[in-house]
Amino acid sequence: MRHIRAGQVYKHYKGVLYAVLAVTSSANDDNTIRVTYMSMDTGKIWERVYDGDNGFTTPYVMENDLLKDRFRLVGQAKITITEEGRYHVERKF
């Protein structure tokens, strides 16, 4: 199993880069682990379950029937929060 951590940068199989902001568990259910990540292109923030159906670690089946990771680790980033309360991501490939 992959160990996803805040500050890692992943490339989605469609080509977009995402920075992991946090890996959390639900306050209501400790068995549900979620990954919060931000598009490095648009700044939009997403959340996805860690594993399971459509999870962050779930492989995606390509049209030619080859398994490919939905997200592939490509580097690290320094994540800070600005005075305005926005995330700032600095890539460190």
Question: Each residue of 78-91: pLDDT tens digit?
Answer: 888 889 988 888 87
**Domain contains 32:** yes
Neighbours of 89 (CB within 10 A): 20
Q: Write down the pTM of the prediction.
A: 0.84
- pLDDT band for 23, please (50, 70, 90 cuts): very high
In terms of residue numbers, what domain contains 38?
8-92
> Edge to edge, what strands does the sheet with 71-81 contain?
45-49, 33-39, 17-25, 8-12, 71-81, 87-92
**Domain contains 30:** yes
When divided into structural domains, the chain yields a total of: 1
CATH number for the domain that contains residue 17 = 2.30.30.320
| pLDDT tens digits along 47-81 | 998 887 788 888 876 767 788 888 999 999 988 88
